[in-house]
Amino acid sequence: MTSTDEVRRIGPTEPVWWGWGPASEHEPLPDGARALLARLGIPVRPTAPVGLAQVRLPPARLLAAARDALAAIVGSGHVDTHDEARIRHCRGRSTTDLLRLRAGDASAAPDAVVLPEDHDEVLAMLRLASRERIAVVPFGGGTSVVGGLEPARLAEQPMVALDLARLDALGRVDRESGTAELGAGLRGPRAAALLAEHGLTLGHIPQSWEYATIGGFAATRSSGQASGGYGRFDDLVVGLRVATPVGSWELGRAPASAAGPDLRELLLGSEGAFGVITQVVARVRPLPARRIFEGWSVPDFATGIRLLRTLAAADLRPTVCRLSDETETVGGLARPPRSAGPAAAIGTGTADAAQNAAQGGCHLVTGYEGAESAVERRAAEVAGVLLAGGARRLDAAAGPDWERGRFRAPYLRDALLDLGIFAETLETAGFWATLPALYAGVRGALAGSLSSAGLSPVVMCHISHLYETGASLYFTVVCAQGEDPIGSWRAAKAAAGDAIVAAGGTITHHHAVGTEHRPWLDAEIGDLGVDVLRAVKRTLDPAGILNPGILVG
């Protein structure tokens, strides 16, 4: 067995090539959910992905000489040109990405997958790629949902995926300062396991946690479900080590500084367009001694928003806080299938959700992590605010139900795609004063666009990230696929993007820009902002080989 074969060997936790998670974790949509889809008029049309052998790949454009030069840097066992490796590094995990893969379209696949061992190999690889004009796609977990792995390379330009999987070490742990050096290629669970050996945690658990990586979290400004307690990932970054085509760059000498602009903030969210993050020095906290999850019902979404604002203003944010709107409460996508009882709706359909829905309320999950006494006190204080504001406490299973199912949504999407049903998400954030109009505008734009295409959309929303000045909005859309699901979604997403800009929100709260949000970036950061990004790009990547067309183009 060659090393290349080692790379190709797919472990039991690796995802299926056409979707999310390993096949062993897949399950069909519950009957109750199918019944709800029928009631909503969303037609079921079972659709299996093509076989791996049927997937269409573009001809590899990487010349043998370039391949040999890459192999000379990383070792021949770490340049993989097999079809499956190329397919597994083709695009990300947006629904349009999956629809294309399932249909056998891997036309955006890289010519090869290169797996450097360390920072210096990444540096050498970028130098070579600059000289040879090879496009390089930095690849962490491959979980982008914004086209961040589908660069706009020039015709005939070779392209390689730079897979950071081997940069997976936990480096120096500074217990006194509360920081740890984490390799960029560490996935969420592995990073958590390594830190847990020291009694520490990042507390960063986005939906994509199972596969997404430390480097990807930083490069896309990820935000996890526990952001209220631990902060967004950009808050957790103390230092960065970056390999660029023009050399190494290390930043982060102090907990705070006035030594000019904070250039870490230029690399956070840079999506591999300025350089490859190879190591993150992150803030780490003690593993929580106690964890509580609670379920609530609030009278309506507007009341819920006011309650969340009250909590944020009083510095009483729960570690986890997730308010579903009326539709999501009914649809139950807030609590995915593994937590479902027998009466499951689309996602959950526990007795609680059904009861909630019947009463017209909105589902709210609150979670607390930390020291025993702090957790109990915070939970009591938040409960005081919620009860005073008209919230009703759900039974004790409601919180833990949510926790059990917290990573199930992408599995549920695969089950829906298997039935020919479209499901996708998009998100934004706004100030409290703009939030109601932002919610109405985006919801209306999505529903309007998809309805006009005759697709019976269900548009659901939740708030899951609170700030003193505002909050995020996370929309989930479920609808029929129709004849052109990709085209229909692109139109709906464009309408939503315009609505976000019109209502004064941000085009993305935690999914990054990629190619999908690029049309609205000028509205977000201004023409001068785009000019500045271009100037930075020219300085760090003069040959323009890094993720061409991603973020800046």
The binding track of 292-331 with respect to a second copy, each residue x by CB under 8 A or -, is -----------------x---x-x----------------
Instruction: Print the binding letters for residues 27-66 with a second copy: x by CB under 8 A, - otherwise.
Output: ----------------------------------------
Q: Is there binding between residue 539 and a second copy (CB under 8 A)?
A: yes
Stretch that binds a second copy, among 17-25, 197-205, 335-343, 518-526 (CB under 8 A): 518-526
How far apart (Å, rounded) are the C-alpha atoms in residues 309 and 468?
Answer: 7
| Token duo for residue 302 | 């507007």
Nearer to a second copy, 165 or 268 (CB): 268
Amino acid at 289: A
**3-state DSSP call for residue 276?**
strand
Sorted by sequence, the CB contacts under 8 Å of residue 455 that are 6+ apart come out as 422, 479, 480, 481, 482, 488
Site residues for a second copy, 152-191, by CB under 8 A, read 174, 176-179
In this structure, are strands 247-251 and 237-244 parallel, antiparallel, or unpaired? Answer: antiparallel
Sign of the CA dihedral with 171 first, then 142, 88, and 422 last: positive
Q: Is 238 in the site for a second copy (CB under 8 A)?
A: yes
- What is the arrangement of strands in the sheet containing 135-139, beginning at the earlier edge strand? 79-80, 112-114, 159-163, 135-139
Smallest separation (angstroms) from a second copy to the CB of 381: 10
Q: Are 363 and 324 in contact (CB under 8 A)?
A: yes
Among 50, 118, 133, 467, binds a second copy (CB under 8 A): 467
- The residue assigned the tokens 């006011």 is 306
State which residue, 153 or 465, has the beta carbon closest to a second copy. 465
465 touches a second copy (CB under 8 A): yes
Residues 76-95, interacting with a second copy (CB under 8 A): none
Three-state secondary structure call for residue 306: helix
Candidates 48, 154, 193, 433; binder of a second copy (CB under 8 A) is 433
Instruction: Compute the distance between CA of residue 194 and CA of residue 170 in angstroms, rounded to an integer.
Output: 7
Q: Which stretch binds a second copy (CB under 8 A): 46-54, 82-90, 245-253, 485-493?
A: 245-253
- Using CB under 8 A, which of 53, 155, 358, 528 touches a second copy? 528
- Residue 244 contacts a second copy per CB under 8 A: yes
Give residues 275-294 in contact with a second copy (rule: CB under 8 A). 283
In angstroms, what is the minimal distance from the CB of 329 to a second copy? 24
Shortest separation between residue 8's beta carbon and a second copy, angstroms: 33
Q: Which two tokens stand for residue 254?
A: 């102090």
Nearer to a second copy, 113 or 499 (CB): 499
Contact range with a second copy by CB under 8 A, out of 158-166, 183-191, 384-392, 462-470: 462-470
List the structure tokens of 288.
């929580």
Residue closer to a second copy (CB basis): 195 or 238: 238
With CB under 8 A as the contact rule, which of the stretches 126-134, 357-365, 449-457, 504-512 interacts with a second copy? Answer: 504-512
Burial 92-108 (b: 16+ CB within 10 A, else e): bbbbbbbbbbbbbbbeb
Among 5, 6, 31, 250, binds a second copy (CB under 8 A): 250
Residue in 265, 372, 395, 483 binding a second copy, rule: CB under 8 A: 265
Collapsing DSSP to helix, strand or coil, 251 comes out as: strand
Q: Spell out the residues 6+ positions from residue 340 whose beta carbon is closer than 8 angstroms to its own.
A: 30, 32, 332, 347, 348, 349, 350, 405
Which element (helix H / strand E) includes 501? helix 485-503
Whether residue 46 contacts residue 418, with contact meaning beta carbons closer than 8 Å, is answered with yes
